Amino acid sequence: MNWLLVLVGGAVGAPVRYLVDRAVSARSRTLVPLGTLVVNVAGCFVLGCLAGAASADVRLLLGTGFCGALTTFSTFGYETSRLVSEGSGRAALLNVLVSVALGVGVAALGVSLTA
């Protein structure tokens, strides 16, 4: 049964990630990949909220499934390395610093709001 919860959450999270990333990226005029930043930060917040306040089944559905499909470390890594290879080292550094700081910060905020 656990695998089904993860499957359903992932089936919802993946298209949400794609649609949010495309919508944000289409409106962005910056080198920093804001679409990926938005989905990763949102996923960190949701996972932080779930950490202590949700049942094991909800954590599987929303945490592992939905957030696992919504967030993307691989795209973050690729986009950051692409910025470096294109000569935009400052944008790459900004992407790393902002992504990590916001991600950890909102995860901690989510935990504190639901503890």
Extended beta strands in the chain, E state: none
For residues 1-16, give the mean pLDDT: 97
H helix runs in 54-88, sequence order: 56-58, 68-70, 73-85
Q: What is the pLDDT of residue 101?
A: 98
Task: Inform me whether the pLDDT recorded for 52 exceeds 90.
Answer: no
Q: Domain span at residue 42?
A: 2-114
Which structure tokens are listed for 45?
Answer: 């917040």
pLDDT of res. 88: 97
For 78, the token pair is 């690729």
Provide the pLDDT for residue 115. Answer: 82
What tens digit of pLDDT does each residue of 63-89 get? 999 999 999 999 999 999 999 999 999
Report pLDDT for 54: 87
Which pLDDT score, from 0 to 100, does residue 69 have? 97
Give the model's pLDDT for residue 103: 98
Residue 53: per-residue pLDDT: 84
Number of domains in the chain: 1
Decide if pLDDT at 114 tops 90: yes
Residue 21 to residue 76: CA distance in whole angstroms: 12
Instruction: Give pTM, 2 decimals.
Output: 0.93
